[in-house]
Amino acid sequence: MLKGIPKLISPELLKILMEMGHGDRIVIGDCDFPHASVARDSHLVRLDGHGACEVLDAILTLMPLDTYVDAPVTRMEMVPGDNVSTAIWDDFARIVERHQPGARIGHAERFAFYDLARRCYCVVATGETAAYANLILQKGVLAR
């Protein structure tokens, strides 16, 4: 074991986070996200027993967000006509703000989000059951 690494970060995910460079992106997908098909040309890490918020918190404990882009975090937008709670978006915002104050969260239409996700370095599958609990994080650099 190592000190300071959140327990839910698997050795595989830790290796991937270390491999990622500035501008690389990682997806956190909810339980309904098409993880395997989206990650066909990238890495897939399964953390099915964990929620999206705890995975986001653990990743941001280790990974800086990109300060050279307008929105280093992108969430999937709700499909017009859906009538579901998106309270988890407020939780995401609080976690992002705690780790990187001022970092902006953008959004992308569902199919545009899938297109962006297919170009990410890694997809993390969670067991999150909240609707529209899908995020893309863009890696930044350590403050110098």
Q: Which residues are catalytic?
A: 22, 66, 114
Give the residue from 54, 66, 52, 64 showing the smallest Cα distance to 123. Answer: 52
Give the residue from 125, 129, 127 showing the smallest Cα distance to 49. Answer: 127
Retrieve residue 139's tokens. Answer: 């890696």
Retrieve residue 24's tokens. Answer: 């690389």
Contact predicate 124/6, CB 8 Å: no
